[in-house]
Amino acid sequence: MHGRAERRAGRRVAAVLAAAAALVAGIPGAPSAAADFADNLRDSVLQARQGSSCGALRADPIADQTAAIAARSTDTYLDHNARVIPVSDPLPILRDLGLNAGKAKLLQGAGKSEADAIKAILITGYKELPDCSYSAYGASALPNSNLGAWFLAAVVLAGS
C-alpha cells in the first residue's frame, strides 16, 4: 500500500513539473506589463491544477487581495523598508478580509525573469496545487526594481 501511494504522489509531481516546463517554455523572459505577468501566473497555476484529479480552482478576489498583501510585504522586506517580517500565513488575512476559509497556503516565488518566478511557484507548490481540499486561489505578481530587476510572485490557495 505504501508503494502505491508513493507512485501516485510521484505521478502527481511529474504532472505538475511537466505542466510547469510546458508553461514556462512559452513565457517570454523579457519584462512585460505587470498584468501580463499576473495573467501568466494565473494561467500556469490553473494548468498545473488540471494535471490532477481535482476540479478547477476558482478565482477569488479576496484571495487575490491576500496574495497582493503577501507579495508587497515580501517586496518591502527585500527593500529593507519593512517594519515587520513578511506574511507567511495567509489564513488570518483571508479571514480578516471576509473569506471564511478553513485552511490556506501561501506559495511564493522570485526570479530574474517572470518565467523563473512562476516556475518557483509551481515547483514549491507541487504538493499543494493538486490538493483537492483547496478550491479557491488568488495570485499577485510584481517586479522589484530595487533588487536588480527581480520578479516576485505570490499565490494563495484557500479551502474549507
Would you place residue 3 in the very low, low, confident or very high pLDDT band (cuts 50, 70, 90)? low
Please spell the DSSP secondary structure of 35-47, one letter per residue. HHHHHHHHHHHHH
Render pLDDT for 11-38 as a digit per residue (tens, 0 to 9). 554 454 444 444 444 444 444 455 689 9
- Write the CATH number for 36: 3.40.33.10
Render pLDDT for 42-76 as a digit per residue (tens, 0 to 9). 999 999 999 889 999 999 999 999 999 999 999 99
Give the residue among 92, 113, 91, 131 at the shortest CA–CA distance from 36. Answer: 113
Give the residue among 85, 128, 123, 131 at the shortest CA–CA distance from 106. Answer: 128
CB neighbours of 88 closer than 8 A, spacing ≥ 6? 106
Q: Mean pLDDT, the chain, as a whole number? A: 84
Q: What's residue 78's pLDDT?
A: 85
In whole angstroms, how far apart are CA 59 and each of 31, 63, 139?
A: 25, 8, 9
| Cell numbers linked to 24 | 514556462
Q: Side-chain half-sphere of 30: how many Cα atoms within 13 Å?
A: 1
Render pLDDT for 99-117 as a digit per residue (tens, 0 to 9). 999 999 999 999 999 999 9
Beta bridge partners of 143: 151
- pTM more than 0.85: no
Give the residue among 42, 34, 78 at the shortest CA–CA distance from 63. Answer: 42
Determine the structural domain holding residue 110 and report its residue range.
Answer: 2-159
Specify the number of domains making up the chain.
Answer: 1
